[in-house]
Amino acid sequence: MIALNAAPFWIMCLATMAGTAPLIGSPSQRVLLAGLNFAFVTYFLGWSALWLAGMLLGVWLLLRLTGLPMLGIWLTLAASLGALALFVIHKTPADVSNASIQTLKTLLSVIGYSYVMLRFFELLRAVHEGRRDPPDLISLINYLIPFHMLAAGPIQSYDDFVRHSQSIEQSITTRQVLTGAERVSLGVFKKFVLALALQKVFLTNFESTGLWLFIEVNVFYVWLYLDFSAYSDIAVGVGHIIGAPAPENFNNPLVARNIIDFWDRWHISLSMFIRRNLFLPIQLVLMRWTESHLPLTCASIAVAISFLLCGLWHGLGPNFLAWGGVHAAGLVIARIYAFLLQRHLGSKRLKAYRANSWVRLTSTVITFEFVAFSFLTLFRLPTQW
Amino acid sequence: MLVKVITGLGPPEDMSRLEFAARLIKIVVLFFISFSLAADVTPFFYQRF
């Protein structure tokens, strides 16, 4: 994984800002950005970057063939299975006996493959469904391995990427640079001061017990938010300056009033990916099967499948599956509760109920504790099957 | 444009020089504190915690 407390990332930021800022608005900007993106991963990979170059060329060619009748479907399926196989290699413990697998694992780790895979699926789906033309090699590199989003996302949708590419600004303004730099400085402060302080003072990998465990569980959630959102702040800030915007990923999740609201505020780009590519297609299939007779059941099953897969995306162990299961259960219960409230109170009284500050406070505290304790599954349950 | 920003010569039209300077100073201070800690150069802050 790309370390943000080491020089290469920041040298890359400065080089990209200095190099691309004068070129914003010209076609050379995206060419230079692609070159810098590839050079960045080459710095970490050395000769193994040739593997990556081969993979990118393979994907570029594959996307051109997915439009072919019949063959396209099989190629899309094969590409999806191949991407999933790489994900399994990426997430399983290191096999040091096999040099090739070790090289591949290093490569996947450097490019943050978990995120690259989701971007690849977005791209594959957009091209296969005919919504977008296959990208040229330059766009492919800029979309799949943007240096500022390699460390921890966000997951930019391909539609979003194309929209931004088509509306390239003519020049960079002082305000843009200032806003971007402020966002980056906020990110590094959150990560290296606030999150680090909480980690050093409170966190013990959940070895604490009793009241200290309760405190640690709550602080861990705040720490994770600070640390993770810091990565997004840096990516958004850098993207702002270099003319390659990254989507927003957090919106005050600590004050979410229920688990549905939480997933609208936490890791938003992943949440949107799940909604677009898992929840909605699964729900649609189920609604067709049941001829729209059981909407709540269909939505609940779709949520359960989506979040179990979401858990496995974070890690292939039973602990991550359980974490996904806990969130799936929370989401299903929240949906059923909202449905019952609507039925019993009616729209007018429901509005008044939701506006009540005590209800809001109680639901926010319950949601906070639910999310905080859900992380215990990651540490207290087995990590291997 | 980047050079203009770095040298502090060009606040946006609708921003006063004072606000521009304050925001630049905030950025520099946040970066300085953060990287001091990240590089473990100033353990002073940890001792305070």
pLDDT of residue A2: 64
pLDDT-derived band at A3 (thresholds 50, 70, 90) equals low
b/e burial code for range A333-353 (CB count within 10 A of at least 16 → b): ebbeeeeeeeeeeeeeeeeee
Q: How far is CA A256 from the centre of its chain?
A: 19
Rounded mean pLDDT, A308-323: 92
- Is the CB of B33 less than 8 angstroms away from the CB of A189? yes
Q: Is the dihedral of CA A256, A257, A261, A262 positive or negative?
A: positive
pLDDT of residue B46: 42
pLDDT of residue B42: 44
Out of A18, A182, A191, name the one closest to residue B23 (CB): A182
The DSSP line for A236-253 is HHHHHHHT-------S-G
pLDDT of residue B9: 56
Share of chain A above pLDDT 90, in %: 41
A-to-B residue pairs, Cβ atoms closer than 8 angstroms: 68
The amino acid that residue A282 corresponds to is: I
Most confident option among A61-75, A165-179, A307-321, B33-47: A307-321
Share of chain A above pLDDT 70, in %: 96
Rounded mean pLDDT, A288-307: 90
Q: In terms of Cα–Cα distance, which of A232, A193, A183 is closest to A5?
A: A193
- Per-residue pLDDT tens over the stretch A195-235: 988 888 888 888 888 888 899 999 999 999 999 999 999 99
A260, HSE (Cβ side, Cα atoms, 13 Å): 11
Rounded mean pLDDT, A310-338: 92
Q: Does A131 score more than 60 pLDDT?
A: yes
Q: In terms of Cα–Cα distance, which of A129, A117, A128, A118 is closest to A157?
A: A118
Write out chain A residues lying below 8 Å of B46, CB-based: 197, 200
Q: pLDDT 10s per residue in chain B (49 long)? A: 555 555 555 777 778 888 888 888 899 889 888 877 765 544 444 444 4
| pTM listed for this prediction | 0.88
- Per-residue pLDDT tens over the stretch A53-66: 999 999 998 888 87
Tell me how crowded residue B44 is: count the other CB atoms within 10 A of its CB.
Answer: 9
> How far apart are the CA of A309 and the nearest CA of chain B, in angstroms?
35
Q: Which residue has the higher pLDDT, A347 or A311?
A: A311
Residue A75 to residue A361: CA distance in whole angstroms: 51
pLDDT of residue A284: 93
Q: Does A253 score more than 90 pLDDT?
A: yes
Longest pairwise C-alpha distance within chain B: 44
- Is the CB of B45 less than 8 angstroms away from the CB of A193? yes
- Per-residue pLDDT tens over the stretch A137-155: 999 999 999 988 888 878 9
Tokens 């593997």 -> residue: A51
Q: Which residue has the higher pLDDT, A221 or A163?
A: A221
pLDDT of residue A95: 64
Q: Which residue has the higher pLDDT, A45 or A184?
A: A184
Rounded mean pLDDT, A240-245: 84
Task: Return the structure tokens found at B25.
Answer: 């100073």
Q: What is the mean pLDDT of chain A?
A: 87
Q: How far is CA A135 from the centre of its chain?
A: 22
- Is the CB of A192 less than 8 angstroms away from the CB of B37? yes
* ipTM associated with this complex: 0.76
| Among the ranges given (A21-25, A185-189, A379-383, B30-34), the one the predictor scored with the smallest mean pLDDT | A21-25
Q: Does A323 score more than 80 pLDDT?
A: yes
Write out chain A residues lying below 8 Å of B30, CB-based: 185-186, 188-189
Residue A237 to residue A358: CA distance in whole angstroms: 37
Kindly list the residues of chain A whose beta carbon comes within 8 Å of any beta carbon in chain B: 4-5, 17-18, 21-22, 171-175, 177-178, 181-182, 185-186, 188-189, 191-193, 196-197, 200-201
